[in-house]
Every structure is written in C-alpha cells, then in structure tokens.
Amino acid sequence: MVECDDGDILDAIAQNDPDALVMLYDRYGRIAFGLAYRILGDAATAEEVVQDAFMSIWRRADSFDASKGNSRSWLLSIVHHRAIDQLRGRFGRRRGEVDFDALEPILAGPDLWSEVAGGLRAEAVRTALRTLPEEQRRAIDLAYFEGYTQQEIAERTGTPLGTVKSRMRLGLRKLHDTLVASGSYRIDGDSDGR
Amino acid sequence: MAAEREHTYYRELLGAYALDALPDDERLVLEAHLATCGACVAELADLRLAVTALPLSVEEREPSPSFRDRLRAAAVADLAASSQPKPIEPKPLPDNVVPFPASSAPSVPRRQGARVWLPWAAAAVFLLFGLTMFGWNLSLRQANNEQVIALQPAPGVIGAGGELIYLKDKQVMILKPRGLPALAPGQVYEVWLIQGITPVPSGVFSSADGQVAVAANLGQYQALAITIEDGPLGNATPKGEKVVVTPL
C-alpha cells in the first residue's frame, strides 16, 4: 500500500491488518495527539486518548463508509469527544471503549463527514479563526477545547447567556463563511482522500 | 409572528448545539424543532462543518517514540483476543503443563514489612530453581507460532498469576495477569523486561485483571517482571514492590 488513500487504509483495517492501522497513525497521529494534548495538557493522558481513538477505529472500520466522509474528521471527532470526556470527568466507561451511542448523532451527520472537510488545511483554519472577533473565538474555544457548557461559559466570562449563544453561532457562521470564501473546502470532483 | 420568534429562538441555539454546549433540556427541544425546520437544519450543517475545522487549528505534536509500536501491539493483541477460540485455562491441560495454582488461591494482603530486594537476575534464577523443584512447567507452545508462559508471583506475593502469550511472528507479548495485589490511588502496574540485569520499562496498566500488549522480541530478554509504581507514567527504573517475576 504505497499510494493508497484513506478508504484503502480503512478497508485494510476492516480486514484486521495492524499495519494499516499504523499507516493511518502515520498519517494522522500527530494531529490527533496535538488535539488531545491541546485539550488535556498532559502527554500521558493524551496518548491514552489517542490510542483509544485509534482502537475504536480498529474495531469499527467496517462500519465507516469512506465514500461519504473522511477518516481524518472521524478520527479527530472521536479524539475530541474522548478527551473532553476525560477533561470534564465524564469518564465513566472503561478505557478503550468509546460511547458510540453518544457519538451517533454526530457520526450520523453526513454534513460533518462530507468530503469537503477533507480538503481543509491547518493554516487556512488558523487564518480564518484570526478573523473572528476575540469574544467569539473565546466562546468557541471554551466550548470546544475546554468542554464548557454555554451556562458555564456565561458564568466564567461574566457574560449574559444569550450573548454567549450568539457569539458561538456567529463565530461558527463566520468561520464557515471565511473558509468557503477562501476556497478551503474541497468541492465535488477533488477527492484525493486527504 | 409567533412562529418567526420561535424560529429565531431556536436558531440562536444552533452554535451551542454544534459545539455540544447545550444542556440536555434545550438540546432535546431544539432537536424537536430541527425535525420540522429545514432552514435550521441547513444552518446547522454549515456550523458543524465549521466545528470540523477547529481541531485543525492546533499544533501537531509527536507522541512518545514507543507509541507507534504500542498502538500496533494493541491492535495485534485485540486481534489475538478476538480470534482466540479458547482462553488459556484449557481443560485438560497438555501433559507438560502443571496448572498454576495461584489463580484459585485466596488473595492475601501484601507483605507490609521490610522487604529484601534481590537483584533482578537473581530473583529470576531463584524462581526458576524453585519452580523446577516443585515440578512446575513454565511454558507450553500452542500451534507453531504461539508460546504461553505462566506468570509467576514475586517472592512473598500470593495470588498473583496469569499468563503471557507470545506471538512469535508479530513479536508481541500479550500479558493477561490475574490476582495482582490491589493498587492504591495514583499507582499503576509497570511491566519490565529484564535484559541481563537491566530492567527495561515496557509499559504501564492499571487493571489488575486486564490485558496489556508489549511489542518486544522475547528472545532478547531473560525475565519479565511487574511492579507497582507511581502513576500515571510509572518509573524509569523499578522502585516499587515486585508482584510478578517470571523467567523467560
């Protein structure tokens, strides 16, 4: 598997090929660990979370339809979900188990897994985030990277709850529109698998 | 007008919903609204796409050098566990295996007094001698590729046992310890592979009856040990109590 795309890798994982899992790790392990570390701030715990996420994919690869989504987003959503659970003390499950029932509404969203997200590049995202007003970016950060609810964010920042809701929506709206305007989302026809 | 106000109210929740920051009650009522509102569904799709972009804003980082091997070993262990037709408590056992009695022995409190710490190699030799004296076989071979070794309790530890399954073609050891002494809060079990007299840290775990995989060539080591160390990372050299010491 020299020039394989993510779909090939997931197919091989579904065929119980450990080397394919390692190949997926070589491709996305650094961003997965970067995300877990960003949320948790602890390397050992971040490694546990990332290993759990890869093992979840190892066990669930056969259920993933690569034609409808991209595996990077899938992996990173699992890492995010797991890391926030760990951070916020919602770690009731045994290690190695991801609550796919809780993830199901997210996993089922074809928009989230749309191939257009596969073309996103880190620098484009960072640039787009920099265009957001500070208070919108802060609200999004507190929710996404620290796992706070809207109420907790309101209390933490001394901001009315309604304002927090608006900041999250307007911030995400602007982020989306900026990425679209910059051509960062891949549109139909460009499908190199990453 | 009332319908428009209602729509505006729900629309305002979409950002928090996409970020999973809504409390359950609001989430449920919003989901009911989404079932009837195409405009909100369309906006939610955009906001979720934006959320998908967020993890890409972080700096990539390299996990520890051993992580890649550990991940592969975990996959191999998972594969072996799911494909093993029989757990390694076979009945009847082959002639060259004597059942290891510790798994059925009652667990007793760990020795609390001063302990004599034998050098690692000496401990392994002592155990090998002792076990030979009692006529215990330490290993059996299953099929051509799999070697099973009974884990032996360290001197003074009663009840610890389990097995090590070595997959030769994968060069992966799967440890299935049983009856390890309980951990105090903040402690972990740490696995050591003993090379000569040097214990090489080879992984930590926290479940006394769990399963752990170690990627290593068994032929390069003379013994395996499990100690209790400070978590979550364990120690670079063994400092805690030995609970398993098994010649390889």
Which residue range(s) make up the domain with A173? 116-194
The pTM assigned to this predicted structure is 0.60
A60 and A99 share one domain: yes
Q: Do B15 and A168 touch (CB under 8 A)?
A: yes
Q: Which of A60-74, B26-40, B130-144, B214-228 has the lowest mean pLDDT?
A: B130-144
A101 and A149 share one domain: no
Looking at the complex, does the CB of residue A74 fall below 8 Å from at least one CB of chain B? no
Cβ-Cβ pairs closer than 8 A, A with B, add up to: 171
Residue B110 clears pLDDT 60, i.e. is over it: no
Looking at the complex, does the CB of residue B78 fall below 8 Å from at least one CB of chain A? yes
**More confident site: A101 or B244:** B244
* Other CB atoms within 10 A of residue B204 CB: 19
Residue B109 clears pLDDT 70, i.e. is over it: no
Per-residue pLDDT of B191-205, as tens digits, reads 888 877 778 888 888
Looking at the complex, does the CB of residue A162 fall below 8 Å from at least one CB of chain B? yes
Looking at the complex, does the CB of residue A129 fall below 8 Å from at least one CB of chain B? yes
Q: Which of B20, B165, B197, B198 is nearest to B89 (CA)?
A: B165
User: Which residues from B are below 8 Å from A21, CB to CB?
Assistant: 71-72, 75
Residue B128 clears pLDDT 70, i.e. is over it: no
End-to-end CA separation in angstroms for chain A = 15
End-to-end CA separation in angstroms for chain B = 79
User: Which residues from B are below 8 Å from A153, CB to CB?
Assistant: 21
A107 and A42 share one domain: yes
Q: Which pair of structure tokens corresponds to residue B6? A: 């209602």
What pLDDT, on the 0 to 100 scale, is given for residue A193? Answer: 35
User: Which residues from A are below 8 Å from B14, CB to CB?
Assistant: 169
Shortest CA gap A133–chain B (Å): 15
A108 and A172 share one domain: no
A80 and A14 share one domain: yes
Q: CB neighbours of A9 closer than 8 A, spacing ≥ 6?
A: A1, A20, A23, A24, A27, A71
A78 and A97 share one domain: yes
Q: CB neighbours of B52 closer than 8 A, spacing ≥ 6?
A: A73, A77, A112, A117, A120
What pLDDT, on the 0 to 100 scale, is given for residue B84? Answer: 57
Residue A27 and residue A9 in contact, taking contact as beta carbons nearer than 8 Å: yes
Instruction: Give the whole-angstrom CA distance, residue B177 versus residue B189.
Output: 10
A127 and A59 share one domain: no
Q: Which pair of structure tokens corresponds to residue B103? A: 């798994």
Q: Strand pairing partners for B44?
A: none
Phi, psi dihedral angles at B176 (to 5 degrees): -125, 75
Our measurement of the distance from residue B147's CA atom to the centroid of its chain's CA atoms, rounded to an integer in Å, reads: 20
Percent of chain B scoring above 70 in pLDDT: 74
Q: Which pair of structure tokens corresponds to residue A147? A: 């796992």
* Mean pLDDT computed over B122-143: 43
| CATH number of the domain that residue A107 is part of | 1.10.1740.10
pLDDT band at B101 (very low <50, low <70, confident <90, very high): very low
User: Residue B153 gets which letter from DSSP?
Assistant: B
What pLDDT, on the 0 to 100 scale, is given for residue A177? Answer: 94
Q: Do B63 and A50 touch (CB under 8 A)?
A: yes
> Would you call the peptide bond into B232 cis, given omega within 30 degrees of 0 as the criterion?
yes
Looking at the complex, does the CB of residue A157 fall below 8 Å from at least one CB of chain B? no
A16 and A105 share one domain: yes
Looking at the complex, does the CB of residue A109 fall below 8 Å from at least one CB of chain B? yes
Shortest CA gap A19–chain B (Å): 7
Nearest to B74 among A55, A164, A168 (CB): A55
User: Which residues from A are below 8 Å from B58, CB to CB?
Assistant: 31, 34-35, 37-38
* Other CB atoms within 10 A of residue B124 CB: 22
Residue B227 and residue B236 in contact, taking contact as beta carbons nearer than 8 Å: no
A31 and A65 share one domain: yes
ipTM: 0.84
| CATH number of the domain that residue A158 is part of | 1.10.10.10
Q: Which residues of chain A have pLDDT under 50?
A: 1, 91-98, 100-101, 103-115, 187-194
Structural domain count, chain A: 2
A72 and A128 share one domain: no
pLDDT band at B5 (very low <50, low <70, confident <90, very high): confident
Q: Do A165 and B79 touch (CB under 8 A)?
A: no
Nearest to A169 among B45, B47, B233 (CB): B47
A28 and A4 share one domain: yes
How far apart, in Å, are the Cα atoms of B145 and each of A88, B81, B148, B171?
44, 15, 10, 10
Q: Which pair of structure tokens corresponds to residue A53? A: 């996420």
A39 and A58 share one domain: yes
Looking at the complex, does the CB of residue B230 fall below 8 Å from at least one CB of chain A? no
**More confident site: A106 or B6:** B6
Q: Is B245 left (phi over 0), alpha (psi -120 to 50) or beta?
A: beta
Domains of chain B, by residue range, sit at 2-57, 67-107+115-247
Shortest CA gap B35–chain A (Å): 13
What pLDDT, on the 0 to 100 scale, is given for residue B205? Answer: 82
Shortest CA gap A52–chain B (Å): 9
